[in-house]
């Protein structure tokens, strides 16, 4: 049973529950909310693309009037870059000859240069073939444009609980599958605390089965 109490400081949420040995116990929102948020964050970190979701996303992206949406989704899955890093990427940070991309400032405040696969190089060549006047960004879209397109795509495909950030989780998890080490993946993802990467290192059951048979 939950109740809302008004105090001099304003509204506060209190949750009450009964324990046979202790009687009724009340826990304030100050203690509940951090636990709930932590639980939800853990669920979001564990999320990967489920069977069929990748295909649904790509098909939905291909129906967008904005041709950049599909390219952004593919680039996110191939590189593991955050949405903000992708949208802030300029052509002078891209070296197609050396197959690398430099992120000048990431979420943790550090810069990093990451290698990119041949398929990503091909994708960037495709992007370069679509010149946009007076815009040096690789993907000339705003965060709001991507957010709105993403929301519409989820409704059309009936995909549940999928945030754009899951694409980064998917990418990092895929980096581990061919055998990249934790330090190698960290150099791509930008994680400073290597322990954070272990939550990404989920091997699909089908991959384990292949090794057992």
107: annotated active-site residue: yes
Q: Which segments within the chain are labelled E, that is strand?
A: 2-7, 10-19, 23-28, 94-95, 100-103, 112-115
163: annotated active-site residue: no
CA distance 180 to 189: 12
45: annotated active-site residue: no
- The radius of gyration computed from the CA coordinates of the chain, to the nearest angstrom, equals 22
Catalytic residue among 107, 147, 199, 204: 107
165: annotated active-site residue: yes
Question: What angle is formed at CA 46 by the lines to CA 159 and CA 152, rounded to 5 degrees?
Answer: 25
82: annotated active-site residue: yes
90: annotated active-site residue: no
- Where is 77: in which H helix or E strand? helix 68-79
Question: What angle is formed at CA 73 by the lines to CA 203 and CA 193, rounded to 5 degrees?
Answer: 50
**Tokens found for residue 38:** 């932590």
CA distance 208 to 148: 38
Catalytic residue among 70, 71, 82, 112: 82
Strand 100-103 and strand 94-95: the pairing is antiparallel
Active site residues: 82, 107, 165, 168, 191, 200
């Amino acid at each position: 049973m939950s109740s809302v109490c008004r105090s001099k400081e304003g509204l506060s949420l209190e949750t009450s529950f009964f324990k046979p040995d202790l009687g009724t116990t009340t826990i304030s929102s100050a203690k509940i909310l951090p636990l709930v948020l932590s639980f939800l964050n853990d669920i979001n970190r564990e999320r990967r693309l489920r069977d069929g979701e990748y295909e649904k996303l790509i098909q939905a992206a291909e129906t967008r009037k904005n041709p950049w949406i599909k390219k952004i989704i593919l680039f996110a899955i191939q590189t593991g870059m955050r949405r903000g890093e992708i949208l802030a990427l300029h052509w002078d940070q891209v070296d197609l000859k050396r197959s690398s991309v430099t992120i000048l400032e990431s979420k943790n405040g550090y810069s990093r240069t990451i290698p990119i696969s041949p398929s990503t190089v091909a994708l960037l060549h495709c992007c370069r073939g679509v010149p946009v006047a007076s815009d040096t960004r690789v993907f000339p879209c705003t965060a709001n444009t991507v957010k709105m397109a993403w929301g519409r795509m989820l409704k059309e495909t009936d995909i549940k609980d999928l945030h754009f950030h899951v694409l980064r989780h998917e990418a990092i998890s895929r980096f581990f599958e061919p055998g990249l080490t934790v330090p190698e993946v960290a150099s791509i993802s930008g994680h400073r605390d290597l322990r954070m990467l272990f939550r990404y290192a989920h091997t699909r059951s089908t991959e384990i089965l292949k090794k057992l048979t």
